[in-house]
Structure 1
Amino acid sequence: MRPALCRLCGSYCPILVTVEKGRATKVTGDRNAPLYEGYTCPKGRALPEHHNGPSRLLSSRKRGPDGTYAPISSDDAMDEIAQRVQSIIARHGPRSVALYWGTGLCTFPQNVNIAAAWMEAIGSPMVFGATAIDKPGAPIAQALHGHWPAGHPPFEEAEAWILIGLNPLISRSGGFPPNNPGLRLKEAVDRRGMKLIVIDPRETETAGRADLHLQARPGSDPAILAAMIHVILRERLQDSAFLDENVMGLASLKAVTDDFPPERAGAMAGVDPAAIEETARIFANSRYAGIGTGVGPSFSLTGTLTDYLASCLMTLCGFWSRAGDRVTKPHVLLPAYQPRAEPMAPFPAWGTGERLRMRGLGYNAAGMPTGALPDEILTEGEGRVRALFCMAGNPMMAWPDQHRAFAALKSLDLLVTADLEMSATARISDYVIAPKLTLEMPGTSALVESAKYYGHNRGIEGPYGRYFPAVVAPPEGADVIADWELYYGLAQRMGLQLAMKTAFGIGQHLEIETQIDLLDMVSKPTDDDLIALGCRKSRVPLDVVKSYPHGRMFNEAQLRVLPRTAECEARLDIGNVRMMAELAAFQPPPFGGSEASHRIFMMVSRRTNRMMNSSGRLNPKLAPLEPTNPAFLHPDDIADLRLVPSGQVEITSRHGSITAIVQPDAGLLRGCLSITQGFGGNPDETDDPEGLGCNTGRLLSADAEFDPISGIPRMGAVPVRISKRP
């Protein structure tokens, strides 16, 4: 068995891979690796089927005039694509070429570095990512609040933890330790008595283990957090000494939250005011407590305010590491840095980069506004996007407003997608590049090490470092390339020099000097060459990390937080003018009511343990376990609507309709409909609710309601009607 890391998501669980005759045949958790205790999820255990399944592309594809696809060598594909890109740039300028990357970037983060270097080399700023339609509020809130570079105390010291719209037992996403979250939760709650509080309209797997579950109405989270602040300030539970030295805006925050007593917030959220008060006291009276937020608040268009208020609560109680504390997330494969117990001031969250032609949107702390990209493609005029490259993502499943996305992608002069199978986006692309997969590429743990730069309470704690070589070679006779090789190959053919940039920091504050490495454009580097470039200033030499095949805790890299410098005048801002105005005007979306004799339900999202977004739908081991995405309702709502479990229903919003299979969920707040994203087919394909499932993007509009900074449209707390299909 060969040690490796699963890289289907950012948790990077250590695995052992059984290889027989050059093929991966089995994956189990690696009990010899630190931190994870042998954990891996069903998706990780299905990696052999991921690599060897019948739907995997073993050569690239080109669409012909009749719409059918034929094999094409990767070299010929790059020749043709390079010529077409040069022609498009010559006619329309470099801004007409755009890049989109999805959550699959975990596979090999250097893919994004090289693709971004190619975009910079051609002179296009049109780089879009999944962050802007997932959790854009987290980096924007961090910019408005400021940053505490020393981080937070260890999770093992937490006496309370609040999870808002977050279910780490299934999602393993940021806001809670990702290394075996089930065991971490058991250790914390059962063994050392940590209080777990969940705010969620669903009784999720995590909420079922909570001390308190505030089953709040969708989109009401800011009211609950504001009321918690109200209680803390009213009862003087804040850390006044920390605030006096490090914080500004307290008076503004108090003035606004004075209008959010628990009684008012409880009425808004549909929860007991006493539960809000208890939550506030448990949190503030803890020696240390933390908060994690999920995509639910973000989809409800309250993401920035929710994340901002969560940061304010952490700061009000002084839950940040102090001088002399152990640094919880020191560097191993990243360059050395030395944090101090002092703030990093807020910095501009928008208005410093490229502007879009649509809706006053532009570059912001979460990147370019992906929700507006279809309009940049569809709208005629100077600056129109005419070529799009999709990497590590599936826009037709991920982008909101699927009909608009479909029209946009179909109208492009050139659409190039890298995908392991003929996904929904691949099926409308001009070229589909067949990529190498995770076990065919080396990797390191540097990504989980850098997660702390994308929001508090993210990433692995401790000086953990890991490298592993490729476990297997691509199948014999396959013509597959790493995603980065496409952009390197295009640069070669276009006579461009690529400069790979590596930088880590928050906003305008870089804790580490930016590395710029000019690539050899004659002799192509290897995957390992790119890893070595990114780690050439690592705190622990890469060769040392390589000598531990199962990874190691490099205690020699452990640090202590240094004291504040006398020159530091920065302060965290808990009274940002824009956030206070948004909170003062806050009203949760209407809940309940009736229209045309049908109740109005609020659609909310959920994740599955067997799929990573749209990835895994064709995996022969996973697909039979979860073939479709049911619309879950409370059993009493099913009865009231006279529906039948497993029967078909029509779900209709102001913007469209879909057909789904209905199933009961007794833990769901009545009046809510919960459904997983990333399923279904393209609009021109036959609907198959029992097979492909349904695409919730057809219920959304990209421009009817959207965040004015990130451009994310309303993707959650969406009013819908439900009717029985004849």
Structure 2
Amino acid sequence: MTRHVDRPVDAEAQNAPALQVVPEQAGVTVPTICRLCPAHCGVLATVQSGVLVEVKGDPENPLFKGYTCPKGRALPELHNSPSRLLHSQKRQLDGSFAPIPIEQAMDEIADRLRGIVAEHGGRSIAVYTGTSGQAYPGGANMAAALLQAIGSPMFFTPNPIDSPGKQIAASAHGNWLAGDLPFSGADTWLLVGLNPVLSKANGVPFNNPAQRLKDEVARGMKLIVVDPRRTETAKRATIHIQPRPGEDPTILAGLIHVIVAEGLVDHAFIASDVDGFDALARQVAQFTPEYVGARAQVPPEQIVAAARLFATRRGGMANCGTGPNFSQHGNLTEYLALCLATICGRWPRAGDKVHRPNVLLPAYTARAQASGPFQGWGYGTRLRVRDLGDAACGLPTAALADEILLEGEGQVRALICNGSNPMAAWPDQRRTQQAMEKLDLLVCVDVEMALTARLADYVIATKMTLETPGMTQRVEALKYYTIGIGYPVPYAQYSPRVVDPPAGSDLIEEWQFYHGIARRLGLNLTMGVKYGFGRYDEAPPTVIDMAQSDDLTTEGLYEKICAGGRLTLDEVRGFPHGRVFDVDEVVAGKEPGCTERLDVGNVPMMAELAEVRSFDFNSEQSGEDYPMRLISRRSNQFLNSAGRTLPGVRLTRGKPYNPLFMHPEDMAHLGLRSGDAITIASRHDRIPGIVEPDETLRRHVVAMYHCFGGLVEEDDAYALHGSNVGRLIAADHEYDPITGIPRMSNVAVSVSPGWVG
């Protein structure tokens, strides 16, 4: 199916007029939860004349204590944006869009899904749910339940194109049933490719991470950072290793080499709970400080100093970010970070205070014992391309475009994008657009006409966060995704709806859309959410009987989702500013007869480490045609594609595009000045850009924000909407054989003056 792409919907023509604030009328300020990112900060929202006018930090919140970031403070702009959709949209024959009542849209979508399934089978329907789904706990779960009821396994998330190595590494290494160590009070910590001061990622607790880090460093923590850029986090480090990109596994192997060679391991812990140590020691033997220093282009003495610092001080773990997962060998990098912690015995022991106990999730017994390795790949659904299949991180998202394009049995013919924007976020944008245009049915569930929505058949307009109730249960669950993330204390908060949807709008909540489609298809839904370490403990499934769910509300759905929690939603509701609950538990001892052990010598991981050692890194460094290395970068002003078009946020950054950041000496060498137009080319494709200096980067390394740009044919407007970094990446080249993630950072590029479209 070929789509004519019309201009974006004229929001002022399609939407009801925005309500005007009456300055004389006093506003009402209430505590609530910002849900733009995983932190879920406790904030105060002020509503005046039915309009959200201000969001700021809540000083009465016991965890966040008044902290919030620019993204959270921009919530009123998001809610009241003139580009916001107040009515669902249907593509017309001429390619334009027109409003459609939500009930009619669901009727038509259900009819088309029914026909596609009848002709091509359940597997022809796929869902891709984005990071914004964290704000609406029922949406992604209900979408997955709908797919299951249809008989389709084709459920995709951003995880396999973000940090899939975390789950793969955990499956190869095993998990510690007492969880991880707390950041607070540790004497050292290692962050690899992480900038939590901006990104609110794992490692540093995200309740005001900059302040948390500042406090711990002032107390005496010795921070070690590995990053090609001198980031806001690296500036606080005792040791900042600033390598050439892509050498994260080399550096981690080098640290382990020094620790093993100098006998700095925890011998008692290894004897009691760890397998594979001899295999690991053999594989890291050749990663000497001299070899690592030459390969990563860092002083060898830094490797020695960092290894000694990490191994000889109390507490401290190692966390890796998105960049190392983007740069190839993400599974190995994450695995070596776990191995580093394990050989140093960095896991809670019996009698320690339980870190991250559940509140709205079921209580669990934290034990000082291993849950050994489990099958993390090579099972379940197989894709038709690149011999990829299901894994602990989910189905390989980077292959979904090919599953749409490849003709034949099993071809994906309908895609529902749930709070997601593949055209902005997926690698290989040119191929992604071809896939979106080929679909028989493309439905986007979104709050605006985002890039992907402009290619859709239907765009389902949804309520925004503060028009829905909120809770923090999903944040608790993050600890089952990776170590070093989630609330560091037994904290929980619930928020009722704060503001009504705009007058005259016709909006729906995400879960209500999938519920409505299921009713029309005559399907009952079962939402099963799996939480737990190791092999996962399955929470009781939430069964939605369509014959008895006419009066189901979001509040009622949340009650079902939280059934079996340590505390009920009612108990949490009693503390509108949130609460750190009195959960005084200590880690239990190992169960009698437990024989499970962590594994630091996993055979596939050791084989990959041997491949890394044998790789001719000198040949990669000497490419004259593409002499620069492009790495990823985060901003404090927006999250992926959400919020980057808001005027207030743009004013904070000063520009609507994503510049290419380059070291000033490299700019001078190329005869470039700040603000110059450039062409950025990889072996796969090319994009326009605007260059800006950044002396925090290594020489010959450039950085750029992702999720910018327009459609493929709109490159010439790069000064208005930026450029899509994903265009430079081939999805079917240099990809991980387990997760399918291609090389998305440490990409070889050239930069030249000017742009000719």
TM range (shorter): over 0.9
1:580–1:594 distance in 2 versus 1, CA, 3 Å: closer
| Residue of structure 1 in register with 2:14 after alignment | none
- Matches of 1:122 and 1:204, distance apart in 2: 46
> Deviation per CA, 1:665-691, whole angstroms, max 9, x where unpaired?
001000111001010001133532221
- In structure 2, give the amino acid aligned to 1:689: Y
Q: Secondary structure at the match of 1:98?
A: strand
- Matches of 1:711 and 1:176, distance apart in 2: 29
- 1:9-88 map, 5 Å: 9-88=37-116
Would the aligned equivalents of 1:217 and 1:591 in 2 still touch at CA under 8 Å? no
- 1:131-146 map, 5 Å: 131-146=159-174
- Matches of 2:519 and 2:407, distance apart in 1: 31
| Residue of structure 2 in register with 1:494 after alignment | 521
**1:398 paired to 2:425:** yes
Match of 2:131 among 103, 106, 110: 103
| Residue of structure 2 in register with 1:672 after alignment | 701
- In structure 2, give the amino acid aligned to 1:560: V
| Residue of structure 1 in register with 2:25 after alignment | none
- 1:210-221 map, 5 Å: 210-221=237-248
- Matches of 1:379 and 1:225, distance apart in 2: 39
- Matches of 1:37 and 1:202, distance apart in 2: 31
- Matches of 1:690 and 1:588, distance apart in 2: 39
| Residue of structure 1 in register with 2:191 after alignment | 163
**1:622 paired to 2:635:** no
**1:194 paired to 2:221:** yes
- In structure 2, give the amino acid aligned to 1:66: D
- Matches of 1:299 and 1:417, distance apart in 2: 26
Match of 1:612 among 630, 633, 639: 639
- Matches of 2:368 and 2:456, distance apart in 1: 50
> Deviation per CA, 1:25-45, whole angstroms, max 9, x where unpaired?
001101101121211110100
**Aligned-residue CA RMSD (Å):** 1.2
- 1:38-437 map, 5 Å: 38-190=66-218, 192-437=219-464
Would the aligned equivalents of 2:363 and 2:566 in 1 still touch at CA under 8 Å? yes
Quote how far apart the aligned CAs of 1:219 are.
0.5
- In structure 2, give the amino acid aligned to 1:113: N
Quote how far apart the aligned CAs of 1:594 are.
4.9
| Residue of structure 2 in register with 1:572 after alignment | 598
- Matches of 2:623 and 2:731, distance apart in 1: 25
Gaps of 5+ in 1: none
- Matches of 2:45 and 2:224, distance apart in 1: 37
Quote how far apart the aligned CAs of 1:588 are.
7.7
- Matches of 2:55 and 2:539, distance apart in 1: 38
Q: Secondary structure at the match of 1:15?
A: strand
| Residue of structure 1 in register with 2:535 after alignment | 508
**1:717 paired to 2:746:** yes
> Deviation per CA, 1:491-520, whole angstroms, max 9, x where unpaired?
00011101122331245331x543333344
- In structure 1, give the amino acid aligned to 2:410: G
TM-score, length-scaled by structure 1: 0.98
Aligned residues: 721
Would the aligned equivalents of 2:542 and 2:560 in 1 still touch at CA under 8 Å? no
Would the aligned equivalents of 1:591 and 1:602 in 2 still touch at CA under 8 Å? no
Quote how far apart the aligned CAs of 1:593 are.
3.1
- Matches of 1:588 and 1:86, distance apart in 2: 53
Would the aligned equivalents of 1:63 and 1:431 in 2 still touch at CA under 8 Å? yes
Q: Secondary structure at the match of 2:55?
A: strand
- Matches of 1:428 and 1:364, distance apart in 2: 30
TM-score, length-scaled by structure 2: 0.94
Gaps of 5+ in 2: 1-28
Q: Percent identity?
A: 49
| Residue of structure 2 in register with 1:558 after alignment | 584
- Matches of 1:230 and 1:634, distance apart in 2: 32
Would the aligned equivalents of 1:100 and 1:127 in 2 still touch at CA under 8 Å? yes
Q: Secondary structure at the match of 1:289?
A: coil
- Matches of 2:505 and 2:177, distance apart in 1: 46
- Matches of 2:208 and 2:88, distance apart in 1: 37
- In structure 1, give the amino acid aligned to 2:125: V
Moved more, 119-128 or 619-628: 619-628
Quote how far apart the aligned CAs of 1:393 are.
1.0
- 1:583-662 map, 5 Å: 583-586=609-612, 587=615, 592-595=621-624, 600-626=627-653, 627-662=656-691
Q: Secondary structure at the match of 2:175?
A: coil
- In structure 2, give the amino acid aligned to 1:381: G
**1:4 paired to 2:32:** yes
- In structure 2, give the amino acid aligned to 1:518: I
Q: Secondary structure at the match of 2:197?
A: helix
- Matches of 2:544 and 2:104, distance apart in 1: 26
Q: Secondary structure at the match of 2:253?
A: helix
Would the aligned equivalents of 1:228 and 1:276 in 2 still touch at CA under 8 Å? yes
Question: Runs ≥4 in structure 1, deviation > 6 angstroms?
Answer: none
Would the aligned equivalents of 2:373 and 2:598 in 1 still touch at CA under 8 Å? yes
- Matches of 1:419 and 1:502, distance apart in 2: 23
- In structure 2, give the amino acid aligned to 1:573: D
> Deviation per CA, 1:621-652, whole angstroms, max 9, x where unpaired?
21333311000110000000111210001011
Match of 1:708 among 729, 732, 737: 737
> Deviation per CA, 1:361-406, whole angstroms, max 9, x where unpaired?
0000100000000000000010000000001210000000000000
Q: Secondary structure at the match of 2:679?
A: strand
- In structure 2, give the amino acid aligned to 1:100: Y
- In structure 2, give the amino acid aligned to 1:282: L
